[in-house]
Structure 1
Amino acid sequence: MRNILTAIAITALTVSPALSQTAAPISRVDVLAAERALAGPEMRGRGSGTTDEARAADWVAAQFKAAGLQPAPGMASYLQAAPIVRRTATGVPTLTVDGTAIGGVGILTTDGGTLGGKAVVVNAIGDGVPVADVLVYTGPADGLSQVRRAARGKVKLIVTAESDTTRRYLAATGGKPQLRTTLEGGGAWSGVALATLPADALAKIKPGDTVSLDVPFAAQKGVTTNAIAYLPGTDPTAGVILLSAHLDHLGVRPDGVMMPGANDDASGTVAVIELTRTFATMGPAKRGILFVAYGSEELGGLGSTWFGQHPPIALDRIVANIELEMIGAQDAKLPKGSLMMTGAERSDLFQMLKANGALVARDPYPDQHFFERSDNYSLALKGIVAHTLSGWVGPTYHQPTDTVENLDIDYMTAAINSLVAPIRKLADGGFTPRWTADGRPSAGR
């Protein structure tokens, strides 16, 4: 191991002597060109775990190679494949209450097969969600997403009343149950199955009733792909910085509509690529930098989870992770020009970035739990100080309108440029981020 580390250090030190400690600003032209490549029609929305995602990963890997970066230590290429299991429904779902079948069931998401148990009925979650096999949620439809997040790890199945929102979701998926795709052998984020019933049918379920949901399914193996590149540092003992984004999106819907994902998250992937090019032209830093574009974030963080299980560099060498997610337009609640940093209060990284010129602000939506909803969370659960930087704009989120034309390229370019100096300072090794006293997350927090 000592000889390998020495070789890496020598490689870093023998990079072209013409390189300087500064780099030309990232240009609007380059940002726009990369956005058009990733979010254009040729990529067909980069659907998670599809050949379109693989094509996008190949394109990102080509950009890494063209920038002059290396594959990560121990990797023969710039691509890391992760085996996944995709499930599809093969029959009509059934939901029973105390053995009696209830009509009108709609399945938004599940692993498939049979699950259920005793029902707990709630109208609001108040101080939290109770631990239960089945949670019957009778509250307002706009509170469902909060209930789902709070139920992770506590509840197997949520049953709620159908609404305009759930009907639109089912229409977009062709009315077919959406069965979760997982890593082969498990290891994805924990999820909660969600089923709907007509309001009158839901009202008949009482606390303590036995609810059972059965969804016949078939399983098919597949692959999701991460693109990874490495810029060595001069000191193999100083640690590594991880810059990441996710390259996948929602692909082409069953109704034939393409979901471009220009903001979510072609924008973050473009930022990683542009930072790759920038840091490759600068003189070597003390710390190495690992650049990763994950696959299948939209399926529950599968690519980042696999990366955390099979890191090309030992996780205890990664001193910080900055995830870039939806940075292509600015939310109205953010200070002008700023990106929000999720979980800013959890570590001292926010203060360091801001003090060194990063256009960052605290998350104005703490109730949305964005910290737990991006790929940084997979790494944070491993103990790495990991946060997401985002511009977050809701109207185009998971909509066909998430196009290049709806991005603010000037804002995006300025935001990326503002990160160069603080990340370089972080890579130079004078600062190591730390969790605050209660900042390090555990599952569900």
Structure 2
Amino acid sequence: MKYIIPLFALLFITSCKTKTTTKSESISITSNEVKNMVSYLASDDLQGRHTGSKGIEKAARYIESQFKAFGVKPYFESYRDNFKIKDSISAFNVVGFVEGSDEKLKDEVIIIGAHYDHIGFGDDARHKSRKGSITKTDTIANGANDNASGTSAVLAMAKYFAKTKKNKRSIMFALFSAEELGLLGSKHLAKRLKSEELNLYAMVNFEMIGVPFKGRNYQAFVTGYDLSNMAQKINEYVGNNLVGFSEVAKKYNLFKQSDNYAFYEEFKLPCQTISSCDLSNYDYYHHADDEINELNYDFMASLINEAIKAMEQMSNTPTKEILMYESK
């Protein structure tokens, strides 16, 4: 016996299928995509991405090719923001831009950043591992967690916003060089943008997001937690306790140790770092064993996708909701 499906029922089924597809498409990045990005950036071929090296040149070209493929435009005449270190080393940040869709709000800019350099290779990478052994043969500090992981987050967000155009405010995507030499890349770009009178709303930096915490009620922490309401607003935007406060981060003043700080110094606005590693849950900081197989890509994809929701909401509020607290 054949069953004849009424037309209204067929339309209902089709509608449900369409909604399901739309929901799945909202997932902006998969764990495999994250792993592919990190695997290239932290490969031996890039020799630890030291500023001024052939390896970091390859990393920059990769980031530029990704921006171009995503449809992310250069912010300057090219993707590169060039600067010199001690008048001898040529260095460059890589900067992309997705203009906002609102005629007024697009003049306000959110910067999403991460450093893509690392410490290169040599004996300094051969520290003792958590098992007490010494890496004798591998001298390449691949920097998977520090900071190919953060770079992958910025690339994922650049892809999402270039594709969806779901940002009323403009978003700058900045990958910094020479962070390991003293935040030199972010200092250069922050000063340049300040001199050009950029209308900055907030700067959100991603640093070492490759491993989860254990026994905490949040996925990542925000540096400078007490300086602004950024953490509270991010959690409000995503509807869960995505980010929180780290005692370890405060103890070691990690707010001043990453690229957010250069922008805070110039603009005195909410410029903070999101990280899932406060050095209490990862043994391979500046170590040759900071390799791709040490990271948790399911966790990273989940964190990045939640962060995208937060950045989307941040870019669309009618007024600036991320605010500095008044100093006491």
1:67 is matched with: 70
1:303 is matched with: 185
2:220 is matched with: 339
Alignment partner of 1:423 is 2:311: yes
Contact 1:23 1:278 in 2 (8 A): no
2:38 is matched with: 35
Q: Deviations over 1:238-293 (max 9, x none)?
A: 20110000000011115771000000000000000011111112134210100010
1:81 is displaced (CA, Å) by 1.2
1:235 is displaced (CA, Å) by 3.5
Matches of 1:68 and 1:316, distance apart in 2: 22
Contact 1:263 1:328 in 2 (8 A): yes
- Considering fraction of residues, name the structure with more strand: 1
Matches of 2:47 and 2:271, distance apart in 1: 30
Query: Identity percentage over the alignment?
Result: 28
1:372 is matched with: 256
Correspondent of 1:229 among 96, 118, 143 = 96
Letter in 2 for 1:376: N
- Considering fraction of residues, name the structure with more helix: 2
Matches of 1:384 and 1:316, distance apart in 2: 12
Contact 2:79 2:95 in 1 (8 A): yes
Contact 1:333 1:364 in 2 (8 A): no
1:352 is matched with: 233
Correspondent of 1:242 among 111, 114, 118 = 111
Contact 1:334 1:364 in 2 (8 A): no
Contact 2:224 2:255 in 1 (8 A): yes
2:79 is matched with: 78
1:315 is displaced (CA, Å) by 4.9
1:438 is matched with: 327
Correspondent of 2:245 among 362, 370, 373 = 362
Matches of 1:313 and 1:23, distance apart in 2: 38
Pair 1:334–1:373, CA change in 2 (3 A): farther
Pair 1:411–1:364, CA change in 2 (3 A): farther
Pair 1:46–1:334, CA change in 2 (3 A): farther
Alignment partner of 1:289 is 2:156: no
Letter in 2 for 1:230: F
Q: Deviations over 1:374-425 (max 9, x none)?
A: 0000001111310000011341111111110000111111000111111101
The DSSP-based 3-state class of the residue aligned with 1:298 is coil
Matches of 1:416 and 1:435, distance apart in 2: 24
Matches of 1:302 and 1:34, distance apart in 2: 24
Contact 1:49 1:295 in 2 (8 A): no
Matches of 2:146 and 2:216, distance apart in 1: 18
Contact 1:268 1:325 in 2 (8 A): yes
Matches of 1:236 and 1:78, distance apart in 2: 24
1:24 is displaced (CA, Å) by 3.3
1:333 is displaced (CA, Å) by 5.7
User: For this pair of structures, how many residues does the alignment match?
Assistant: 283
> Residues 120-199 of structure 1 correspond to what in structure 2 (within 5 A)?
184=87
Correspondent of 2:145 among 258, 263, 272 = 263
1:312 is displaced (CA, Å) by 8.9
1:236 is displaced (CA, Å) by 5.5
Q: Which runs of 5+ in 2 are unaligned?
A: 1-21, 125-137
1:334 is displaced (CA, Å) by 3.4
Contact 1:243 1:289 in 2 (8 A): yes
Q: Which runs of 5+ in 1 are unaligned?
A: 1-19, 86-183, 185-220, 440-445
Letter in 2 for 1:379: F
Contact 2:211 2:282 in 1 (8 A): no
Q: Deviations over 1:315-351 (max 9, x none)?
A: 5411001000000002336336x01111111101111
Correspondent of 1:50 among 49, 53, 59 = 53
Contact 1:50 1:224 in 2 (8 A): no
Correspondent of 2:205 among 316, 319, 323 = 323
**Which has the larger Rg?**
1
The DSSP-based 3-state class of the residue aligned with 1:437 is coil
TM-score, normalised to structure 2, is 0.81
Contact 2:113 2:203 in 1 (8 A): yes
Contact 1:58 1:227 in 2 (8 A): no
Matches of 1:370 and 1:40, distance apart in 2: 27
1:234 is displaced (CA, Å) by 2.4
Correspondent of 1:273 among 137, 144, 155 = 155
1:168 is matched with: none
Matches of 2:147 and 2:293, distance apart in 1: 15
Larger displacement relative to structure 2 (22-31 or 315-324): 22-31
Contact 1:53 1:224 in 2 (8 A): no
